[in-house]
Chains A and B, each alone.
Chain A
Amino acid sequence: MQPLNETEALDRHALVMAIWLALGFIAVILFDYGFGAGGIAAIAAGFIAVLAAFAGHVITNAVYASDFTTREVALGLVLYAASLVTLALAALLAPDFASRNFLPLSLGFVAIAAAVIIYMIIRFGLRRSFDAFDVISDFRSRRTRNDTPDGGIR
């Protein structure tokens, strides 16, 4: 995979932002409507919009022969974690909200996680996808490196 030059990286970044801005706005409308009168169907449609944006991002990566950047992964993880925490807090502090929306929101978050895992398996294969989460082996390999006579520098 050739690294993108500065202009190509900006082209890709602008396209990714365009996709997330357009579909993200639709998702916001649907979530807002879903938390009100729209109900489960609107919340599900909101998650479909998010998944569509994710699919668009993946297609962009394929077109530009690139991968998710570290910043994108970090931003995605932070947003996902923040959303989960918000959902948990809302479930604790607003029982009415939780009784209506907990199940569809939980299923939506599971669907997003599933989409990411499926993408990783397709993109990297089962072993490399597992390796990405295999923190124990990561630590072990690091300790092995440190045990070498030259302090890990070979």
Chain B
Amino acid sequence: MTTLLSTALAFLIAYAIYVAALSRHVEGRPEDFLDAGRSLPSWAYIFAGAGVVAASLGLHDHLLLTARYGLQSSHVAVGLIVVALASVLIQKRLWLAARITGSRTAGDLMGIYFDSIAIRLWLLGVLFLFSVPVIAYLLAETGGLMATASAEAMPARLVIWVAAFFLFLFSAVGGWRAVIYVTATLSLLLLILIAFTGTFAGVTFESLAFVARGIDVGDGILADQIPGVIQFSQGIGKGSAHGGIWTTIAILSFSLSMIGVVLSPGFGLLGITTSTRKAFAFNQVWVLGGLLAGLLLIVVPIIAAEMKSAAGADFAGIVSRLASLDQFAAIGFLLLVLSASLIGIAFFAASGASIVTIEVMKRFILPELTGRGQKLAARIALAVIYLAAATIASVTPQGAAIFSSLALSLSAQLLPAFLGLCWLPWISRSAVLTGLILGSIAVLFTEPLGLIFFEGLFVDLPWGRWPLTIHSAAWGLALNLGACFLVSIFTYGGAERDHRQRLHDVLSRDHRIDFGGPAARGAKWSLTLIWAFLALGPGAILGNDFFSQPMFTGGNVALGVPSLLVWQIIFWSLGVLIVWWFAYQSRMSVIVSEPRHSLTLEPALNRLERPATPPWIARLLGRVAGQSTQIVRRD
């Protein structure tokens, strides 16, 4: 099987390099290498967007967690509806705002909208987490999986470096356009392989474990029930939750953390560089909320039930069972898991390189950088990212896991900033910054990194990771939103507000949203909240027995499948309907008219924000280059 797997991967690499070579030929200007000339086609966004969400969720981990915790863990797939809703709220307005102000990245837009370098730096920090630790974690996973599948014929470290080299190679040749083409192709492959693997297993296996005996989880874990609304446990590492950690609050808070994908700088770049007006709604409603969430809900439990082997829940069991039927089917399953990781690696590395070049190199360090210079800078940034990630993945994968756990949660803390940019002009810079600081502290102290540092330096804390079965992102957001709204009360108006209001005036004048009348408006928000309460919130606990032991009947119903699965499928379907309602009916993701660059938000007086080479950098560059460098200012 090792030979077949290597051949399949070599074919994928050849395909990626071919696409990169083609993309290089259509590159109009050298700087198109960074943003594809902001003309990515709709299909690329539609599939790549879904693939990036799947990669950020961590398909590898999602499968293992479902094998370990059963349907309570796979319930988080319903949370993809929340991700789709967040995307509906943000993506169109971000795209419009970028076009109206002429911004190239989400960080650029945030910086000029809030007139803040701190928020820019924050976004760059989040970008770093996605671009190095997350990639390192995904590379380590890829190496581990390949080593296991080849019975150590391909050592993990070798796989890590080979994968990093070839992914770097095609990204450096083809740039952002090639990366998105390949990401979209892998995403389509991923979606088809999920559906195929589930169907193939269902048709060919003599008896499906999921149907025969359910998911074989460990003792004390509820395989097909949610273990309560909340559990007052100290958190992972300090206390145990009875019946499993995936309470309704854990599921809801985990769903909130997944919003971090949509708010990440890389995903923002994907949206901004898309040319089309049609892609957002289709991606959010049918591919992300519909297809991906549905496949993860229905197919992943079937696969997870087959993953139990003598060694525990791992991939060896299902791979050997598939291989006994057909070698190619086993390769297909491995490619399914690998493609999710490869999508994440290629996408976050390329977006990191592009954004660093645009926001750091071009803006602060070398404002006069030519198009060719930008392309070179992006290639160097790519090399540095891959080198750092591959080194960390091969030397300290545990460190990568610890740092990468912060990425989604810290990215989710940008929610108030995005809400301010897209909808709420009264959210001020100081409110966003206060919220970010408090939210980040809460995240740090409910994730391993903060706990390890604090307990190593000072005293043991009485809580562990995700105390009370609440995800760190939700701890952070609770503090973040509270502080943000409180500070906004006191910083409501003033010149800053006038500055922000200019963008909202253009948006409300030229790009109105059709929420309908007061009744329709109220129905939309109230039904969404009721849906969230029943699908993900405390109401989801009803799904444990709702269909197998209906209330007021006193009898049992033999459904053939767990009641919770039926509940999940019903609320996933309703969720898709809600996303469709907002995206299409309210036109929150449908762009009617093409905006033009009509607003300059660049502050004229702020020295820090001025896109000039800071004097100390100019002097340093002058010494390195051996010539006097003039300080260039764009007034």
Contacts and interface: CB of A to CB of B under 8 A. Distances in A.
Interface of A: 6-7, 10-11, 13-15, 17-19, 21-23, 25-26, 28-29, 32-33, 36-38
Interface of B: 15, 19, 22-23, 25-26, 28, 37, 39, 41, 43-44, 47, 181, 184-185, 188-189, 192-193, 196, 200, 204, 325-329, 331-332, 335
Contact of B15 (A15, A17, A23, A37): A17
A15 B47 CA distance: 10
A91 B192 CA distance: 32
Nearest to B47: A18
A36 B331 CA distance: 16
A94 B23 CA distance: 44
Contact of A13 (B22, B44, B329, B331): B22
Given A7-B26, A29-B328, A17 B19 contact: yes
B192 A22 contact: yes
B325 A37 contact: yes
26 contacts: A7-B37, A11-B43, A13-B22, A14-B44, A14-B181, A14-B185, A15-B41, A15-B43, A17-B19, A17-B185, A18-B189, A19-B188, A21-B15, A21-B189, A22-B185, A22-B188, A22-B193, A25-B332, A25-B335, A26-B196, A26-B332, A32-B328, A33-B325, A33-B326, A33-B329, A38-B204
A25 B335 CA distance: 11
A62 to B, nearest CB: 13
Given A19-B188, A33-B329, 10 more contacts: A15-B41, A15-B43, A17-B185, A18-B185, A21-B189, A22-B192, A26-B332, A29-B329, A32-B326, A33-B328
B505 to A, nearest CB: 34
Q: Give 4 nearest A-B pairs by CB, closest first.
A: A18-B185, A11-B41, A33-B326, A29-B328
Given A11-B44, A21-B15, A32 B39 contact: no
Nearest to A6: B26
A29 B326 contact: yes
A15 B185 CA distance: 8
Given A6-B26, A7-B26, A11-B44, A18 B328 contact: no
Contacts of B326: 29, 32-33, 36-38
A15 to B, nearest CB: 5
B196 A10 contact: no
- Helix, strand, loop or mixed for chain A's interface? helix
Contact of A29 (B41, B43, B188, B196): B196
A10 B188 CA distance: 18
Contacts of B331: 29
A29 B332 contact: yes
Contacts of B39: 7
A21 B22 CA distance: 17
> Which of A10, A22, A28 has the most C-beta atoms of chain B within 10 angstroms of its own C-beta?
A22
Nearest to A52: B192
B26 to A, nearest CB: 5
Contacts of A7: 26, 28, 37, 39
B189 A25 contact: yes
Contacts of B184: 14, 18
Contacts of B23: 10
B269 to A, nearest CB: 18
Given A7-B26, A15-B43, A21-B15, A28 B328 contact: yes
B326 to A, nearest CB: 4
A22 B28 CA distance: 29
Contacts of A36: 326
B46 to A, nearest CB: 10
A43 B126 CA distance: 48
B191 to A, nearest CB: 8
A29 to B, nearest CB: 4
Contacts of A6: 25-26
A38 B329 CA distance: 12
B60 to A, nearest CB: 20
Interface centre among A13, A25, A32, A36 (most CB of B within 10 A): A25
A136 B327 CA distance: 48
Contacts of A32: 326-328
B325 A21 contact: no
A80 B234 CA distance: 64
A26 B192 contact: yes
A10 B325 CA distance: 38
A10 B23 CA distance: 7
B327 A10 contact: no
Contacts of B335: 25
Nearest to B36: A7
A21 B196 contact: no
Given A11-B44, A15-B41, A22 B189 contact: yes
